Structure 1
């Protein structure tokens, strides 16, 4: 009986840990997976793991929320501003949480009733609330979203939401300065300067299904498999010659061999999309290995030159290309500039690795998806510079003993 009451899974974490975001009871970076302290979870089954700039959020099947890491802006929603190095239960106003999205220093929580809660920094209006607060350690309700929310995404200093009717909203001024420079002397559209949810233009006749956010770019996937992009294109993450797109613009399906898209993810400066046949395409910034493939720009004869500084009538743009090692991936998640995926039950990682978030024991960037030894994960999640994987207790338990605080 005693063994049945014990945890049937373990949470491994690795990478940046300056604020205790790995949940291991200390603040030392870890270049290889190590078990987090999951004592607070007891026997609860886990639904989602997610991370922000320096914090982590775990949601259980019963809708409870556990948090750890950086808390200087109240992004853990605990009612105080003290960092926490092990997972702690977050009071969620007696509501059941189904999903979360973490920005740099703020957190969004979606309830099973479609209500959106927010905590953390509001310096750029990223909490989407009418209250005039710079930050909040208590969960606030985003009251201006009148219909149920079904999807949410958090960028660096902005956020996106999809409602039950398929409408897309944006708030937070994180893209404002980029838009102002690119669009001058024309005014910045309301959805890029609003501190409360504002409808995104270009999607009025479309039914949105999910959204994703980079540091300063946005993505929306519609129910019919089309992908719309807007925001900064500094690193080619919008596949256009324009330096900035203020309204949602559709990605030509011909760039993905005509296939419908079924899922999409964003790092800070790159985008990953999976098509209906299971193929995975990447584009955007790749100098740290974020794209999981050799990086190069490609000339698109259908793309007309429009960017500043263009010469000769055409400009090279970053186009989607397939990463064959990721075909049939069942899960993919992006940190700021690194990624995790589950393919064939194996955990793969690639990208920026300065803090060891690729889990290979080194700090060398990883340019092609590679296995993370010893882990067979059920769930994966990324923060900006850290990684998490929920695994059965029989996987890696001997190689990764339970953590003890480091001196």
Structure 2
């Protein structure tokens, strides 16, 4: 997503803050959006904001990275393992960074020249640097990726990258236990159980445009506007009747109104996709309201014939349903079980709200998209249990010139 702010901005954060991931200089959860201390970032234009289990990453337009939050495994890439509650420049990168993906306790960074850097926990091989490293306080180059990468993604304990040539690579053992149970007595394929990047089969005739990751599933959006899904299907998020989808499976366009997909996002167990006409569909786990659909349409509450979810036995199949309130959204972000979107210039939130990450002052789950009042968002991002919005007080003329294209 090529979106950036103008130089005058304010960063609002809210939700879980046990490690200072809100960048507000303290460690108290916030039920309402509050101002982060952005003085270290000064007046730099921002490119993206994103978060992991307990850390936050901000990329500026000149490709610098500012970080805060949990750092016990070195996921902030600062060369130490102390948590910090105010943003600091990650000066140890030595590279211009254009994209970042935050896992639970690790980070994957993509540089302007297509290199992939990783830091944090490597307990499951999620850094892609082999098994001898347990964790890294400094960003490491994933040297076995021999061609430039164009997109990266981080799940709970696994990572993905797609190359400029359209190939998809996967590493980390986060899916291997589920795969082993599903495939027994057959062995688990290398790409589901490797501490270094392994080519994902089944996508050879496709050109990957973007990769995304859930806690234990994987997503590939192709340049043709198709979605391929694989991994754990415990909550029906892969639109299959199988408990585990071994290799990339094409999702039928008919499930999305017959349209091409232009963007896709993933929470831990749910997915959100936007089609070429601007329609937004959600599917997967819905018991926290993270699908943004009426209560009667959630996965765990509606098994009626013709509803958005159906299935026999223990394995349910969740079919995508459109969330009309999100049609035309210009940005969407997924946390673990909550979401943010910009629709018509306004910020909306929905889903899990135990730590106040929906920003409505309560800790009650939000079942359908609701307005987060008082903010004029330019950029949005989510961590597992916290939310971020870069906002500005703009005049009408400056608002028209801000770089906020539709995806």
Provide the TM-score with structure 2 as the length reference: 0.91
1-side partners of 2:268 and 2:331: how far apart?
18
Query: 1:228, 1:299 → 2: CA distance?
Result: 26
Unpaired runs of 5+ in structure 1? 1-5, 396-407
* Structure 1 residues 174-193: aligned runs within 5 Å: 174-193=174-193
Equivalence for 1:400: none
Q: Offset at 1:130?
A: 3.2
User: CA 1:121–1:145 in structure 2 vs 1: closer, same or farther (change >3 Å)?
Assistant: same
Q: Work out whether residues 328 and 343 of structure 1, in 8 Å CA contact, stay in contact via their aligned partners in 2.
A: yes
Q: Is the 8 A contact 2:79 2:92 kept in 1?
A: no
Instruction: Tell me which residue corresponds to 2:282.
Output: 282
Q: Does the CA-based 8 Å contact 2:127-2:172 persist in structure 1? A: yes
Q: Which residue of 1 aligns with 2:205?
A: 205
Q: Distance in 1 between matches of 2:129 and 2:26?
A: 34
Deviations 1:16-56 (A, max 9, x none): 00000000000000000000000100111111100000000
Q: CA RMSD of the aligned region, Å?
A: 1.9
Alignment map for 1:104-143 (pairs within 5 Å): 104-130=104-130, 132-143=132-143
- 1:28 aligned residue: 28
- What is the rounded CA distance, in whole Å, between the counterparts of 2:33 and 2:279 in structure 1? 28
Q: CA deviation at 1:95?
A: 1.4
**Cα pair 2:57 2:68 within 8 Å, conserved:** yes
Deviation at 1:94, TM superposition (A): 2.6
Aligned partner of 1:381 in structure 2 is 381
Deviation per CA, 1:187-244: give whole Å up to 9, x if none: 1111100111111121111111001100001110011111000001100100111000
Determine the C-alpha separation between the residues in 1 that align with 2:280 and 2:111.
30
Matched, 1:73 2:73: yes
2:367 corresponds in structure 1 to 367
What does residue 159 of structure 1 align with? 159
Secondary structure in structure 1 of the residue aligned to 2:262: strand
CA contact (8 A) 2:268 2:335 kept: yes
In the alignment, the residues of structure 2 paired with residue 188 and residue 78 of structure 1 have an alpha-carbon distance, to the nearest angstrom, of 35
Tell me: CA distance 1:300–1:140, structure 2 relative to 1, closer, same or farther (3 Å): farther
2:93 and 2:344 map into 1 onto residues whose CA distance is: 39
Contact 1:300–1:316 (CA under 8 A) maintained in structure 2: no
Q: Deviation per CA, 1:357-380: give whole Å up to 9, x if none.
A: 000000000000000010110000
* Structure 1 residue 265, shift from structure 2 partner: 0.3
- Aligned equivalents of 2:304 and 2:154: distance in 1? 30
* TM-aligned CA distance change 1:58 to 1:234, over 3 Å: same
What TM-score do you get using the length of structure 1 for normalisation? 0.91
Q: What SS is found at the alignment partner of 2:77?
A: coil
